[in-house]
A and B are shown apart, each in its own frame.
Chain A
């Protein structure tokens, strides 16, 4: 069952998109990663051109990070001050990333740059996770317990303009979160990912934040970064496709909830190794697609706006005639879906507690 995407101008399998976004959502919920670094390559394999895959996945990440962040706001596990400092760097990083994206798009190399960036990021994360996962399995088998240093001091901790972050109980240079935000924003803009896989380790090992505040703060930062990425992609290239975004958001929000439930009851050490293998396999598939596969240019279909169905026609015309309004609408759409999902989850969680109380 295929559906035509009016902005990306390709037909995609609706069940394929739903199932993949659901599976990636489950993995996100299970391992606490954003999942953008898996979903964007999958979209490319499904026939969505890389430029559109990056932009639409950024919009999807906005919805999932709003949903997750609202849940953490309701639990009061969020450090706004630290988050806003990272966002300051994130804004500059995103602008720099979009500028780089525009440069490579201008010289016609953007697709190869996106593919290469994914290949290397997947190879780095996959290798690191595989080595760590195997090490953990090895230690568990030999029953070795190692004490890790909680906070190692790097040159970044000696920077000036120190300030107090009372919620995280830290006294640290404002430049530390700003520099981290700059790197995350740059990568997010080029690759259409939230950047949690960089942000979370940086928050633990470099900033030294308490673990309970990390997921909420990371998601809070991702909201701002993905808003800028989505808006700039919508405004500059008109590449946000609301039909694709709706499918991605619905699939991933349901998947994340299922993944989080699974995560509460199973040991994820062995699964981490499997995820690492999956990342490396996706990396190999991208490498094959980039280096060896014949690139048939049959995905781009010239369409007549008047032959589309009313919804597609409305989306297409809105994106062409009012790009700012369209960009703002796509952001609002993701935020509403994200907040709605968080409140639905809260409602069901309260209902379950009430029901179990009654039984007890």
Chain B
């Protein structure tokens, strides 16, 4: 087990190196630069700014400089916000996204697994159909519709919450619901599918024949195998959900990481793009590792290797 984990973490190094290299050259190949704006300054001043950030050097030299910085743990200065460094931006925004993500994930799992279970037990009943129709609506309704809708009803009409901001505990409710509902829909469908598959297996029939109660069958025998699809889904989904959602953060004006992810690319904010991409990549790899471990725990037929 430990060897497995150590090996997977070592594998992270070449993966990140490749991602860093590809990202670096892709951002540099995109037309336009960080200091293009509708109001152009004089060419001399523009050159001076580029020289200050070392952008006048040959591309390969720039690449080596960036890599050298990363080895020293320095992610570089940010171009868009000149008095901030990239690590500072990521470290200030990540806790916010993490908090929002965890809340949304909790909502997604609580609602999704419950709905999926109910639908699976009462397959083809009215309950099943209504739960699955709701899930379908949840999947089809993008967060940029759901968010403003929740804000209109709960914040503007009923004044229960603030429309935007991240100051009080209650400011977490609407964004977490918006993000959570979307994932809950997926989780519900996956849970239902997984449970139906398990419930039709022989060992369940045996358990039933032996007189096990429905609750025992569900929670003791079926659930562990039934939520396997949900767990595989959660690996990349959790990495995505806790690094922040651009849309939800923009709608509710939340100072999270998701906004940097998108806007840095639009701004050609090279250092920030690279920093956020690598951060995200690391998280995905780690979450996939966690998923692999969880899968083995859930399904004794699998082995770590």
Q: Do A and B bind each other?
A: no
